[in-house]
């Protein structure tokens, strides 16, 4: 695909992934994510949680929609949304207008792509007898939800929340993986399947097990599964220059584009 085709495809998959993440989110009051199109902009809003960020952001803003900016911002009466801009829309007039209104660029993400290949051999670390790699299924989904809670600083979950969330983690379009070492939670990650393409996401390694190559092992498992399912492309996003960025490069991922997040300074966490 051409560069702008990657932008359009990744943007669409990322919106669908956001909707899934909102549905499975471990919050006491279920999220009510709304998706609205306004011109070329896609507005993501959660009326129950007005905090700016992932669930309150605007995608697709560019020169063609600058005249709609007041209308866009009015859709977020209780906050200043996160503005998620791709490089094809990041023009001088857009930056100037956002700066005039008090927005500043606060972060960039690298979106990457690769074509999955079949990996016949497991990595050395997951071949050790003391290391267990599992796909999440009906039998261990509740345990996986508790792993997620532990990764969030030991969040306490009610039995109702666990029951409400568990089924999301073994859907045919949302494959989740867990590594344990000597019976202890070590690492986890996800593969979101959208048609004939996939998205690597939710990589997390518990502090005591970092630096052992576990995320590379999980990445290889997911790429192997993607190849076995006949997926044509796999995407992901990483913070530029991070360990994850280096791991993705080693696995054959290449940069598709960088986006830029704009926020008002008083909203930056």
Nearest CA among 256, 264, 213, 250 for reference residue 235: 256
Kindly report, residue by residue over 213-229, the tens digit of the pLDDT.
899 899 989 999 999 99
E strands in 206-269: 233-239, 254-263
- Give the strand pairing for 82-85 and 57-59: parallel
Mean pLDDT of 184-194: 97
Q: What is the pLDDT of residue 127?
A: 59
Distances in Å between the Cα of 88 and the Cα atoms of 94, 257, 260 are 11, 9, 11
Mean pLDDT of 68-85: 95
pLDDT exceeds cutoff 60 at 122: no
Spelled out in words, what is the top-level CATH class assigned to the domain 116-231? alpha beta
Number of CB atoms found within 10 A of residue 251's CB: 21
Nearest CA among 122, 113, 148, 110 for reference residue 225: 122
Q: What is the pLDDT of residue 124?
A: 55
Q: What is the pTM of this model?
A: 0.92
Stretch(es) of the chain classified as CATH 3.40.630.30: 116-231
Q: What is the pLDDT of residue 52?
A: 83
Q: What is the pLDDT of residue 129?
A: 66
Please give the mean pLDDT across all residues of the chain.
Answer: 92
- Residue 53 is classified by DSSP as B
Residues 49 and 59: their CA atoms lie apart, in Å, by: 18
Percentage with pLDDT > 90 across the chain: 78
pLDDT exceeds cutoff 80 at 78: yes
Q: What is the pLDDT of residue 267?
A: 55
């Amino acid at each position: 695909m051409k560069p702008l085709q990657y932008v359009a495809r990744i943007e669409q998959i990322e919106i669908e992934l956001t909707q899934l993440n909102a549905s499975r989110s471990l919050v006491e009051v279920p999220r009510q994510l709304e998706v609205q199109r306004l011109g070329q902009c896609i507005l993501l809003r959660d009326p129950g949680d007005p905090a700016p960020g992932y669930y309150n952001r605007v995608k697709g803003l560019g020169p063609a929609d600058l005249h709609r900016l007041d209308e866009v911002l009015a859709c977020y009466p209780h906050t200043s949304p996160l503005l998620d801009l791709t490089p094809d829309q990041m023009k001088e007039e857009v930056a100037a207008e956002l700066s005039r209104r008090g927005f500043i660029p606060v972060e960039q993400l690298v979106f990457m792509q690769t074509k999955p290949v079949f990996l016949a051999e497991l990595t050395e670390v997951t071949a050790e007898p003391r290391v267990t790699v599992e796909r999440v299924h009906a039998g261990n989904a509740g345990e996986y939800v508790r792993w997620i809670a532990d990764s969030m600083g030991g969040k306490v979950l009610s039995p109702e929340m666990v029951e409400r969330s568990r089924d999301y983690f073994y859907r045919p379009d949302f494959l989740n993986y867990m590594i344990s070492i000597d019976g202890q939670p070590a690492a986890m990650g996800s593969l979101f399947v959208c048609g004939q393409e996939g998205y690597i996401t939710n990589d997390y390694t518990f502090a005591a097990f970092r630096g052992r190559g576990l995320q590379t092992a999980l990445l290889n498992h997911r790429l192997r599964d993607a190849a076995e399912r006949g997926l044509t492309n796999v995407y992901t996003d990483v913070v530029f220059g991070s360990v994850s960025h280096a791991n993705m490069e080693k696995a054959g991922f290449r940069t598709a584009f960088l986006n830029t997040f704009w926020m008002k300074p008083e909203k930056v966490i």
